[in-house]
Amino acid sequence: MNKMTPRVRFAPSPTGFLHVGGARTALFNWLYARHFEGTFILRIEDTDTSRNTPQALSVIFDNLKWLGLDWDEGPMPDGKTLGQFGPYFQSQRKEIYTDYCNRLIAQGFAYIKDEAVYFKMPRKRIIVPDIICGDIYFDCTLEKDFVIRRKDGSFVFHLVNVVDDAEMKISHVIRGEDHLSNTPKHIALFEALGMTPPLYAHIPLILNPGGTKMSKRDKGSSVQEYIDEGFLPKAFRNYLCLLGWSLKENREIFDIEEAIAKFDLPQIHRSNARFNYPKLLWINSEYMHSLPLDELYPHAFFWLEKAGLIDNNTDPSFLKKAIGIVREKVKTGKELVHWIKPLLTDSIEYEDEIFQQYLDDNGKKILAEVIPYLEKISSFESKELEETIKDLALKRGRKTADYIHRLRVALTGRTVGPSLYPMLAVLGKNRVLNRLYKVVFLKE
């Protein structure tokens, strides 16, 4: 394969949300450019004026930024432009397309019929040399001529795609396999213009859990859905890498630097990739558990602030400790809110059934035995707390579980949660005792 310094592009249409398949295409282009120290270009295919919206363009910018996919050329969210091959909006390139269209007509490769312009498809066998799929032969002897400019003067995808790739000096076209049937037409257009086509690499489709192509109507097909669920961008990006590619090290979790170092097009799988939500959830939970706490903190802060559980006055030290003991239990930012809530508010809600099971008169009596022991502890650290409860259980002839379960319910209203002793240590002596006093002496 030609190892020229690549110029690759991602060319979305701003007509809705960013599809998971589009995000994976952008990622593979980005990885290829970064691996070979090439150029990653963002080009906006906005010729469908009836469906384009500024909001959809903002979503493309925001989602790519969330994924960490920076581009070297193209429009920027602030209205500026990077690169010297613009405009990077197809809607601003009509004069360029007109010139190429007129050139094809003048040279006899296109003709006008019923006010539209048709390209004369060569009646021959066309070979698509594909880096992933190998050489693919298309018999175009019966292929019909196709429209490149409509009656209303607007230009069709086939022409603008080829012209933009030529003008922007695209070296490799990395796109979904669903575009493979378009490629013979594009090669024919390049040849008619006297230009060498870029190298093509068609990546496998992403299938939904049912085994059919993931469409925009499928639940979970939008990148924004995963942002809204509280997935970590690193984890989501890691999972996208696995949809058609792998490190070949029997390892599914890796950082982006490893992917950049090892990514290449011939390694991409031929078979379609099935989107596996449970695996994505598992990968995200692994990142939630293992990221350095300082790195996880901004993500957690965003979700907790959004839920109204914290504000800028919240003690960062306490919050970090709370996140630290809860994150082993959670898979997403949204789940983090549910699990950490009892640690951040003194207004504990108790379900009647749970309250009656653990905090009835006998339960309060058992908790009342704990309070004097907790009052005497000076350091209130996890190890000393554990030793204290075990010592109490031994003296009272009880199981430690008799205290552990009731303490958890009294302090959080929940029967499950982070390990009890670290949780007591994070809550601190004052919070723990205040909550216990309230349950044992005040709550009816």
Q: Which 3 state secondary structure label does DSSP give 37?
A: coil
Calculate mean pLDDT across residues 20-39.
97
- pLDDT higher than threshold 80 for residue 48: no
pLDDT at 24 over 50: yes
For residue range 81-94, list pLDDT tens digits in order: 999 999 999 999 99
Q: Where are the domains of the chain?
A: 292-338, 346-444
Q: Tell which CATH architecture fits domain 292-338.
A: Orthogonal Bundle (1.10)
Question: Does the pLDDT value for residue 238 go beyond 90?
Answer: yes
Provide the 3-class DSSP secondary structure of residue 393: helix
Is-contact 238 302, C-beta < 8 A? no
- Is pLDDT above 50 for 2? no
Average pLDDT, integer, range 125-140: 96
Helix (H), strand (E) at residue 27: helix 20-35
Residue that wins the pLDDT comparison between 176 and 250: 176
Query: What average pLDDT does the chain have?
Result: 93
Quote the pLDDT of residue 47.
79
pLDDT value at residue 311: 85
pLDDT the model gives residue 341: 94
* pTM, 2 dp: 0.92
The pLDDT of residue 443 is above 70 = no
**How much of the chain exceeds pLDDT 70, in percent?**
99
Query: Does residue 1 surpass a pLDDT of 50?
Result: no
Q: What is the DSSP string of 324-390?
A: HHHGGG-SSHHHHHHHHHHHH-S-----HHHHHHHSSHHHHHHHHHHHHHHHH-SS--HHHHHHHHH
Contacts with 196 (C-beta within 8 Å, 6 or more apart), sequence order: 190
Q: Average of pLDDT values for 430-441?
A: 93
Nearest 10 degrees: Cα torsion 96, 99, 103, 105? 110
**Residues labelled catalytic:** 216
Band (pLDDT 50/70/90 cuts) for residue 77 is: very high
Q: What's 438's DSSP letter?
A: I
Q: Quote the pLDDT of residue 416.
A: 92
Residue 68 — pLDDT band, cuts 50, 70, 90?
A: very high
CB-CB contact of 204 with 271 (8 Å): yes
pLDDT at 249: 82
Which residues contact residue 275 at a Cβ distance below 8 angstroms, ignoring those fewer than 6 apart? 20, 206, 207, 208, 209, 214, 220, 243
Q: Tokens in use for 390? A: 């075990």
Bond prior to 87 in cis (omega within 30° of 0): yes
What does the buried/exposed string (b/e) look like for 200-212 if buried means 16 or more CB atoms within 10 Å of the residue's CB? bbbbbbbbbeeee
Q: 302-344 pLDDT, tens per residue?
A: 999 999 999 888 899 999 999 999 999 999 999 999 999 999 9
240 or 3, which is more confident?
240
According to the annotation, is 216 in a ligand binding site? Answer: yes
Q: What is the mean pLDDT of residues 435-442?
A: 90
Instruction: Give the mean pLDDT of 30-52.
Output: 91
CA angle 280, 307, 236 (to 5 degrees): 15
**Residue 248, phi then psi, degrees to nearest 5:** 60, 35
47 or 272: which leads in pLDDT: 272
pLDDT digits (tens, 9 = 90+) for 358-379: 999 999 999 999 999 999 998 8
CA–CA gap between residue 75 and residue 436 (Å, rounded)? 58
Q: Is the pLDDT of residue 209 over 90?
A: no
Q: Which stretch of 17-26, 111-120, 245-254 has the lowest confidence by average pLDDT?
A: 245-254
Domain 346-444, CATH:
1.10.10.350
Q: Of the ranges 44-48, 56-60, 165-169, which one carries the lowest mean pLDDT score?
A: 44-48
- Whether 346-444 and 292-338 are alike in CATH topology: the answer is no
Return the HEC string of 213-274. Answer: ECCCCCCCCEHHHHHHHCCCHHHHHHHHHCCCCCCCCCCCCCCHHHHHHHCCHHHCCCCCEE
Q: Is the pLDDT of residue 444 over 80?
A: no
| Banded pLDDT at 16 (limits 50, 70, 90) | confident
Can you tell me the distance from the alpha carbon of 426 to that of 303, in angstroms, rounded to the nearest whole number? 20
